[in-house]
Structure 1
């Protein structure tokens, strides 16, 4: 799927990776880039068209479908992280919030725009996932649950939309240098580098992109006798 002359919608495009993806789409020659945000006034990137889009709002999603009948690339980037474990007192409430934004949002948007993409030749859906789709840390338990669900969603969409020629790309990466990770002391990738890796993978017809060293290392570890997602053995 080429970005040249494409019509692109990026959710959560007012900052971080979303803003970098919108810029990368412009750089790659997209004809029009819609920058979705809960508050469209927060979108400051020149050259894009701001659009009000809370991915948990049925009304906002319906309005976006009406506003962008020529969409060819949907990038499900918007998401939240509350920083809680699965055994924390707030785990159920936190998981529900994260699942609404990180799983149900992309599910609703993908289903809503699938007929539009079909009419426009198939197009593409990009789901921004995470290396935390595959592993869980004490501070990311509920977030990992939501991203694991989004990974399964991505694989389901790929199979079910194959017949209408829609490319579905899952993008995995570790920590990025964004507001979401400001308090985390760990190696972080530059959002612009991750965005470019995603654009390159989509244009190459890929179904999955491991956008940084962290994602590549975690995925490579799947073949080990004790993969990283299993954690340390008892008594270690």
Structure 2
């Protein structure tokens, strides 16, 4: 389905498959593996338009997550959104967090909320504000303080691990590393695991991006937060 000759065959005007009405195409597409959807949407304009429509995403949502229509709306600052966003959130919860209970959708939405603010925004809000929003969302959904703190940490770690390795991510991680500590009560306090992962990625995946001054600034912050620090973080 992904090779060029097949795409030409599917889009040919004398091919019956290319003449199917939209509702039948949707029923076919939602049965195709998600990994092929990008290629499908590139075959012809009609198909690309289908993948922008609420109808297709609602069908995909109900096929992949049949209980989604029975899920209650939740309170809090992070909205549920339309079918495409809900499908994406549930897919993330299942494949990144391995969750399969009544809370799985909001965890996926929280991941999307954090990733978009960190990755898309040219000037993301301070980490403390983003973290507080996540905590407020989980508390609003009735989670315990311990569960709230645990899921917030898991969300941060998952987002940090899935950011693209580019200059924007380097600048973002450097900003997170250099942000001053704000002492807030539990569960609003940020996890040491998350702070450690920020420095770990900077000193491993992005070591070559540092200039001399920035490296020693970030290293000084690391030494202030963690003792001892790994020897692999040393030696610019």
Q: TM-score of the superposition, structure 2-length normalised?
A: 0.31
TM-score (normalizing by structure 1): 0.31
Higher strand share: 1
More helix by share: 2
